[in-house]
Structure 1
Amino acid sequence: MLRVEGLGVRYGALVALQDVSWQVSAGEILGIIGPNGAGKSSCYDAATHLAMRSGRVWLEGEEVTAVPAHGLAARGLKRAFQQNAFFAGLSVRDNMVAVLQRDAGSGLLASLLAPWREAQARAALEAEAATLLEEFGVPHAMHDLRPGNIPYGSQRMLSIALAWGRGARVLMLDEPAAGLGGADMARLATLLRSLRDRGAALVVIEHHMDLIMQLADRIVVLEQGRMLASGTPREIQADARVLEAYLGRAA
């Protein structure tokens, strides 16, 4: 579904990423792990054309190396960022409506000439937004609140829902479990499995080792901007280089 080959990123004299290659298939979760500063976020930025980079990118077998970030999103390659990003002045529901409106909105002339049709479309969007939010673990009681007024765990779910929109072929998540624990972590795991079961390809950067080892079908390990290892969770846990470079230090 998504394949990157030879990705490289430089910030001046600093080499943040060098010759990194991986791929992820439909219905698969690929985990990307590594110590702080290993190049994980640079890898995401490179894959989604949010950084100047070398290398090549393919989406569903078509080369998209030159396609800009917004063009990749339109083709189904979407991502949620490490920090939550919302329209703070809008309700939770209206944040979701704003995402859906991009694909279903009508023009100014149509709104002026057929306001009843615009009202019907708005009602349909609100109903669709409410359904999506509940599917992503944001309960109806929170829909009229502003994002800053709902619990942090629900904010994380909302950020994933906004990235997903009406669906993604590939969804890239940067530390979705950051700041979560207990029931919120369990809800996140259930959500990610459900998205995988829908046939989406997920690429997940994560520092919570227990979570990523449970969820991921395969894992890529980065260190100092280079690929250190790749394999199944069991293979990664048994790799002496990984234990020394990351897992051992974290333990």
Structure 2
Amino acid sequence: MPAPADPPPALCVEELGVRYGSLQALDSVSWTVSDGEILGIIGPNGAGKSSSFAAVTNSVRRSGTVSLYGSTVDGVATHRLARRGLRRTFQQNSFYSGLSVLDNAAAAFTVVDGVRLAGSLCTPWREVSRRRRHRASARALLAEFGIGAKYQQMYPDDIPYGLQRCLSIVLAFGAGARVLLVDEPAAGVGGQDMQNLAELLGELRGRGLAVVLIEHHMDLVMEVVDRLVVLDRGQRIAYGEPEEVQRDPAVLEAYLGRVA
């Protein structure tokens, strides 16, 4: 009997292109990431890293093809991609500032398991039960990722900054995430907070999530990623295992302005 075909990658990006007026932000960039893997995307400022996330989530006009578990998602609205399990974080924290940490997390579950207005009006007891279930799930999820009960009733802006960065990832993970795009989570953190982020990312990989990480802190990148994409001026200049990419002359030139 023929050997079973390998499953498709969680996310496959082929010939991705983005143009802002006369600026070619991305030019024919391709990569894949699989379940239980962390793919890093690095490059100098202006290399096209964040444009990659915007393009993958159909937040900007683009060319190329993006497939989620073998199904093309070109033209699928960003919020529908989130419902299919493709989620992202942003460089800046984004919370419901008037809600507690716990209520922010509960809202992440509501996005996936919400209820129509008619259902709320006709069967309000079901909505009450649903909200209670979301809060219980949110409380457990926060605790699992190190955001304990003493922080859960606080407003997000009042908890330590390192925890805010972790909270952004936890909220994006929420319920039903399968592929998570994480944009510079270590911005503004260091020391133990950096290690906590590394452990959080490792925990997500251990749960079988496919993670794509944009990050400038190379110590964090080299600790957690399985493969690396290097972008420079919108083009992919290196792609492979971290140790191999680190030795690539094109990468050294992009970062250091010289060839080794």
Corresponding residue SS for 2:102: helix
Using the size of structure 2 for normalisation, the TM-score is 0.91
- Say whether the 8 Å CA contact 2:19–2:62 is kept in structure 1: yes
Q: CA, structure 1 residues 247+153, in 2 after alignment: closer, same or farther (shift >3 Å)?
A: farther
How many corresponding residue pairs? 249
5+ long unaligned stretches in structure 1: none
- Of 187, 190, 193, the residue aligned with 2:196 is 187
- Say whether the 8 Å CA contact 2:112–2:176 is kept in structure 1: no
Equivalence for 2:4: none
Superposition pairs of residues 73-222 of structure 1, within 5 angstroms: 73-108=82-117, 110-111=119-120, 115-222=124-231
5+ long unaligned stretches in structure 2: 1-9
Structure 1 residue 109, shift from structure 2 partner:
5.2
Corresponding residue SS for 1:191: helix
The percent identity for this pair of structures is 58
Equivalence for 1:13: 22
Q: CA, structure 1 residues 105+55, in 2 after alignment: closer, same or farther (shift >3 Å)?
A: closer
Q: Which amino acid aligns with 2:101?
A: V
Using the size of structure 1 for normalisation, the TM-score is 0.94
Structure 1 residue 136, shift from structure 2 partner:
2.1
Q: CA, structure 1 residues 109+139, in 2 after alignment: closer, same or farther (shift >3 Å)?
A: same
Equivalence for 2:44: 35
Structure 1 residue 126, shift from structure 2 partner:
1.3
Q: Which amino acid aligns with 1:42?
A: S
Corresponding residue SS for 2:150: helix
Residues 36-77 of structure 1 show CA distances to partners (whole Å, capped at 9, x for unaligned) of 000100111111111111111111011111212112111111
- Of 60, 68, 76, the residue aligned with 2:69 is 60
Residues 92-144 of structure 1 show CA distances to partners (whole Å, capped at 9, x for unaligned) of 11111111123334455554565554433332221111111112221110111
